[in-house]
Amino acid sequence: MNIFLPVLLLLPQAVWSQTLVSPAKVSVGARASGAAALSQAPVFSFPTTFNGMAAAYKSAEKEYLSAIERVLAIPSERRTFANTVQPLTQADGRFQEATVGASFMTEVSPDGRVRRMADAIARRMSRFGINLADRQDIYQAYLDVAAKGEALTGEDKKLLEETLRGYARQGMGLPPEQRERLNSVRKRLSDLSQAFQKNLREVNEFIDVEPARLEGLSQAYIDGRERTPEGKVRITLDYPSYGPFMELAKDSELRRQLAFKYANRAADKNMPVLGEVLSLRRELAGMLGYKTYAHYVIEERMAKAPEGVSAFLARLKNMVYGPARAEGARLLDELRRERPGAGKLDYWDRAFYTGKLQKRLYDLDDEEVRQYFPIDTVIKGALKTYEDMLGVRFTEKPAGAWSQDVRLFEISDAATGRRIGHFFLDLYPRPGKFNHMAAFSLVRGRELPDGSYRRPVSAMVGNFTKATPGRPSLLKHGEVETFFHEFGHLMHQTLTQARYLDFSGTRVARDFVEAPSQMMENFVWQPAILERISGHWQDASRKLPPELLAKMLAARNFNKATEIMGQIGLASLDFAYHTAAGPIDPMAVLERLWAELGLPAPTPGTHFPATFGHLMGYAASYYSYLWSLVYAQDIFSRFEAEGVENPEVGRSYRREILETGSSREEAESLRAFLGREPDEAAFLRHLGLPVSEPPAAPAA
């Protein structure tokens, strides 16, 4: 039983947990009654009426407490792993499955009243989880089991050890008055994290533009935007609206107006929230005896200590700093072709002139490329790619979900026909919806008391451009890459075979969780895969032309050093905030770091930290994207060597990486798949950098 999960479920954890529901009640597939029936329920149901949600939560909480009390009634001398740890773990799983729908509804429900009720339930669930984690009697039950000295092995041993370590990290050994303050801090942090994300989610800003000022934008883009009664075109901050506008709109003043709003999203609310969050995290770490909050967090990551992360970021910065500066100078030269004597490239001009430079250097136009990637063709080809690689089959089923745009698929094993799980695709924007891309784990796979296995359910939530009359949704190649990335998370979540919820799917070390998803991005650059996932929207038989692919491959590492330096900047900012020993000014830290890294200075009056949602969920772990990219490219190196369509490699990847979750150490899974120690050679090749000798993995 992971008693801390009810709290964790409330954090903005894009790929690692949340759940689902609809306008009245989602009930997809068979209803469950009892553990055995639950194992046969293909998805799950959760009431989502305003009153029904509250009643369902209260019922789940009552049942959870009853299950705990039944275990605690066992005399201490009779305690065993089987009659204490396993029943508590099962109770935790039932509670999560019964309540996680509320968390998910805050992200996807079209009904504002439902989202508000979901927020209220999430706050109550946070307090419930924190109070539960502070119960000495539950902790004592685990201590009693440990004192028995049973010869536990494998996942059983790991579960007991990690639960006891979790209690220690909760401060269970502290005096009561300090524990009371810790709980108060945790409750406040949960509320603040939830508020930070809610503020971002509910931003509804825009600019209204006369059609005559939209030069550079396609008619399809213009037709896909809302019109005001005066006939103006409304440009919002949602990605399908904001991204193309910043890349293609020729009017620099309009780009400036939109970029300023984007870089100031929820700033008035979120800057104070961030300040309080950082202060409380410092206090929490100090109370638990850690030097900084980063030391507290990274102790449970593959990196183990902040010093290793700092060294990794510094070494990577030294590798890419020079190339990034050269790329920046080249981009400024591109601006000067139109504005001779320009001294700098403003934030709102970067995407526009990056596109112009790419087109001039490589004769590559992203808008031309996207004509070959209608979303239905991409989805069909991507699913086929994953099926063949992993030895699975996807069958579409009636969704009956929270929005008519949502699709549902059943996963089965190709060799045996065994049903494995389900996933939803919710890919288009709606008001109030989560506004990026993420894979949410809805039901986590786990072994049930009767020996059956609870089939997992996940959802990919995104915001691709919707179709317009006479024209389908067309994806940029970068968006195709994003689809493969998020679907990689989806497979990690749904193909799990871990026995316990705590080790299931993407519940792995945070600095490894992005490795399987980033690995899959490589596939969208392989000619055989592109043949499968492309087809011109006006004639599906017209695949991506070889000459266009050649241009894409030539431009693949275009501005790569700038991209990596940007990621180093974000990771360093997150790290600086969480290694500070005392109060800081978040904007001053940002300005200092950006100057040190050679990144463009923030535009006066903007507040990027207020928009950086990962500061809530990742919290001293944003470095994970770069850290796990080392492992991702090393994993892909085996596909490169043995064939990207080699089913044997794919089955090995499914078996050694995806199915295991964290039921064993992540480094052990890597060694099992690679047949050697991991190293960084493939990562350096991916960046176009010389391979050092001997290559070394980042993990300490």
Q: Which residues are catalytic?
A: 486
Q: Do 537 and 471 contact (CB within 8 A), yes or no? A: yes
- The C-alpha atoms of residue 586 and residue 274 are separated, in whole angstroms, by 8
Which residue, 26, 14, 20, 1, is CA-closest to 95?
1
Which residue, 621, 686, 661, is CA-closest to 506?
661
Q: Do 645 and 300 contact (CB within 8 A), yes or no? A: no
- Write down the residue that tokens 């979901």 correspond to: 118
361: its two tokens? 């250097």
601: its two tokens? 């200075």
Q: Do 440 and 67 contact (CB within 8 A), yes or no? A: no
- The C-alpha atoms of residue 24 and residue 342 are separated, in whole angstroms, by 57
DSSP tag of 371: T
- The C-alpha atoms of residue 626 and residue 278 are separated, in whole angstroms, by 23
63: its two tokens? 């049942």
Q: Which residues contact 70 (CB under 8 A, 6 or more apart)?
A: 87
- The C-alpha atoms of residue 457 and residue 97 are separated, in whole angstroms, by 10
- For residues 57-84, one letter each, b for 16 or more C-beta atoms within 10 angstroms of the residue's C-beta and e for the rest, the string is beebbeebeebbeebbeeeeeebebeeb
Rounded to 5 degrees, φ, ψ at 439 are -110, 120
Question: What type of residue sits at position 23?
Answer: P
Question: What type of residue sits at position 353?
Answer: Y
Give, in degrees to the nearest 5, the angle at Cα 521 between 444 and 196.
Answer: 55
